[in-house]
Amino acid sequence: MESLECHRAGEEPVDNPSDLAQTYNIVEIFHSVQGEGYRSGIPHVFIRFGVCNLRCEWCDTNFDEYEPMTVIDILADVLQYPCKNIIFTGGEPMLNDLWPIARVLKRRGYHLSVESNGTVSIPDGLLDWVCISPKDQMYPQVSIKQRSGDELKCVYVGQSLTMYDELKEGFNHLFLQPCYDENDTVERNGRTFALTEEVVKQHPDWRLSLQTHKWMGIL
């Protein structure tokens, strides 16, 4: 049975108390279905961290509004959902030391994914699934430190895909995602979708990723 207990009488501690006391700045925790990329369609618990080191103009996350939560608070929240898949997202989750929360969740059998902008290296063994979504089409001066992972997911704003020629070698799956602007017109978003589809047809090592959760009107 899932438990918040950090130890049982007569047994070695299950959790390190300092891991449980670790505090993170959290925007929100919610249960939904991954709407984009390789794991699209799989239910996950999303843990959204506050703070990002970039400011993309299409960003739809208010990562400046967050509350400090301990790992034990986060775990209590996560345990209420019948779901063993977790996504660390943000903001930029890798600005945090994720080892404490990862140890606590892995011990309980959770599958841990991250969605990161790639500007911070990710330690080996920390996570089960690494999705890097670089923003160097907007920030060419920002170097991508995490150059390997399961999934490379790029927002298409008209950039040449040759900019990923070297980076893409480190990833198993390549996704191109049209930049969807909620404040833009249906016609302009539609043109972006059509253009992205055309680019994917010309570059068949890439697959089209759509933010299906937005189409469904869910988080």
Which residues would be at the binding site for ligand SF4 (CB under 6 A)? 52, 54-56, 59, 61, 63, 90-92, 117, 135
**Which strand ranges, in their side-by-side order, compose the sheet holding 149-156?**
67-70, 23-33, 43-49, 85-89, 111-116, 129-132, 149-156, 171-178, 207-208
Instruction: Quote the tokens at residue 120.
Output: 């911070």
Measured from the CB atom, is 8 or 55 closer to ligand SF4? Answer: 55
Output 72 or 142, the one with its CB closest to ligand SF4. 142
Task: Find the shortest distance in angstroms from Cβ 201 to ligand SF4.
Answer: 26
Nearer to ligand SF4, 50 or 100 (CB): 50
Count Cβ atoms within 10 A of the Cβ of residue 182 and give its class: 0-12 exposed, 13-18 middle, 19 or more buried. Answer: exposed
Q: How many CB atoms lie within 10 A of CB 215?
A: 10
Q: How far is the CB of 115 from ligand SF4 (least distance, A)?
A: 8
- Alpha-carbon Rg for the chain, nearest whole angstrom, is 18
Single-letter residue type at 79: L
Shortest distance, CB of residue 1 to ligand SF4, whole angstroms? 36
Q: Which is nearer to ligand SF4, 80 or 121 (CB)?
A: 121
Nearest approach in angstroms of CB 107 to ligand SF4 is 28
